[in-house]
Amino acid sequence: MNVRAKFSLLAPCVLLAACSSVQPPASVVVAPPPSPAVEIPVPMLPPPPAASVPVVSPPPSPAVPARISEMEARSLAGRLLPAGIRDRAGWRDEMVTAFTALKIPYSKEHFCAAIAVIEQESSWQADPVVPGLPGMVWAGIEKKASPVPMALVKAALLKPSRDGRSYKARIDSLRTEREVSELFDELSGEARRLSLPVGMSNPVRTGGPMQVSVAFAEAQLSAWPHYPYPRAGSVRAEVFTRRGGLYFGIANLLQYPVNYSEMKYRFADFNAGRYSSRNAAFQQVVSRLSGRALSSDGDLLSYRGAQVLPSETQFALEAMGSKLGLSRDAIARDLRQEKFAAFAQTELYRRVYALADAQGLRAPREAMPQIALKSPKITRKLTTEWFAGRVDGRYRTCLQRVP
């Protein structure tokens, strides 16, 4: 099963040439399926009370008109922001600009959802400081360079970088993920020219005030090319800006259709991957129908790098094939829709719930994904459910700021 966390995840990876047989590492936390698709829904109304991984569908046409004007939206967003944050007007304006460009209706619920995630992920820092970052980076380098002594590794990194400091000095002074990303981008491009005996890839997978995935941002921009700002650099660079982090983070959180009864399930999806709460409920129902113990992590298939493999959920469904009236090929075909809104319209989804209803079983349509969060920055046992609960508390506090 694919364990994911949308926290800032980095597992620095620098290899000596002598260790070139060691492959560049991946992020500590397994990311969502490698080629995210971005689903662009028809603009949503506020959720009934209530995204790594986007899905592509045509832009909405015609667009649902906003219920309030952009000027009124700026006023509302400004009143919902917590007291004491720096540059309130800047945060407000860039948040509303993101909503406008993404065609997400202005509402108290939507603004508070974004505000709650920003508070949880960065405490209103555009480029949040990560305590102990140099140690995390060196630990990752040492792990991947083994058995080469660290003294040799550090000697190789004494060469000067573009800003005049050595790469070692820059690692020792790292404070934010943006700095890590820029450092590894430079090392990757300069290693051959400088004859550095190292090979590396950029280990930073998420960034910005909402800790959005770089892969998601790249896929989002391909599917929805309405980025509201001039862009001179890479998409990765935009993720580490306040405006870009807000734009892509809000897209991941709100620009896809769901029918959840509470916003907390969107928060769980933000952490675990789009539609994880829907899929976790589906796994619970399949477990009851089949009598098999299944993980309710929101992944209906198994992902290993670029490979998509059958899962325990798929095997349980295949064993129920005669009851469902579906072949193994039909089951596999529908499961491939698991990261999309369309999965809820498949024959597989409908027949599983019809069978559960016929047997009088409790058949939830939403459930908290059961995922343990793993990251070098996490020093205690945390879960997706914990994350969703924390963000939901901030969300409810925000709602109370404007009656």
Nearest to 12 by CA among 149, 114, 135, 173: 135
* Distance (Å, whole) CA 323 – CA 308: 26
* Distance (Å, whole) CA 68 – CA 335: 39
Could you count the other beta carbons within 10 Å of the beta carbon of residue 254?
27
The pLDDT score that the predictor gives to residue 47 is 37
Please determine, for residue 19, whether its predicted confidence score (pLDDT) is greater than 60: no
- H or E segment to which residue 356 belongs: helix 347-358
The pLDDT score that the predictor gives to residue 8 is 40
- Give residue 400's identity as a one-letter amino acid code: Q
- By the 10 Å C-beta count (0-12 exposed, 13-18 middle, 19+ buried), 403 is classed as exposed
Is the Cβ–Cβ distance between 316 and 331 less than 8 Å? no
Please determine, for residue 87, whether its predicted confidence score (pLDDT) is greater than 50: yes
| Alpha helices, DSSP H, located in 55-208 | 70-80, 88-102, 108-122, 133-145, 150-156, 167-172, 177-190
Q: For residue 72, what are the CA distances in angstroms to 76, 96, 329?
A: 6, 10, 52
Q: For residue 229, what are the CA distances in angstroms to 217, 232, 383?
A: 14, 10, 35
Please determine, for residue 28, whether its predicted confidence score (pLDDT) is greater than 60: no
Q: Give the pairing of strands 212-213 and 206-207.
A: antiparallel
* Distance (Å, whole) CA 5 – CA 393: 19
Mean pLDDT of 43-65: 40
Mean pLDDT of 153-169: 87
Q: What percent of the chain has pLDDT over 70?
A: 79
As given in the structure block, the two tokens for residue 286 are 């399949």
Nearest to 264 by CA among 370, 340, 399, 368: 368
- H or E segment to which residue 14 belongs: strand 14-16
Mean pLDDT of 213-219: 95
Please determine, for residue 51, whether its predicted confidence score (pLDDT) is greater than 50: no
* Distance (Å, whole) CA 213 – CA 140: 20
Please determine, for residue 83, whether its predicted confidence score (pLDDT) is greater than 60: yes
DSSP state of 344: G
* Distance (Å, whole) CA 255 – CA 56: 11
What is the DSSP code string of 199-267?
EE---B-EETTTTEEHHHHHHHHHH----SS---S-HHHHHTSHHHHHHHHHHHHHSS----SSTHHHH
8-36 b/e with 16+ CB inside 10 Å = b?
bbbbbbbbbeebeebeebbbbbbbbbeeb
Q: What is the pLDDT of residues 89-123, one digit of tens each?
A: 999 999 999 999 999 999 999 999 999 999 999 99
Q: What is the pLDDT of residues 143-154, one digit of tens each?
A: 776 777 888 778
The backbone region for 273, taken as left when phi is positive above 0, alpha when psi lies in -120 to 50, beta otherwise, is left
DSSP state of 372: B
Label residue 201 by pLDDT band (50, 70, 90). confident
- H or E segment to which residue 16 belongs: strand 14-16
Q: For residue 342, what are the CA distances in angstroms to 134, 349, 376?
A: 44, 10, 35
DSSP state of 106: P
As given in the structure block, the two tokens for residue 317 are 């469904």
Please determine, for residue 66, whether its predicted confidence score (pLDDT) is greater than 70: no
Find the distance separating the first CA and the last CA of the chain, reported in whole Å.
43
Q: What is the pLDDT of residues 229-272, one digit of tens each?
A: 998 789 999 999 999 999 999 999 999 999 999 999 999 999 99
Q: Could you tell me where the beta strands, DSSP code E, fall in 288-359?
A: 302-304, 307-309
Least confident of 123-137, 146-160, 225-239: 146-160
* Length of the chain, in residues: 403
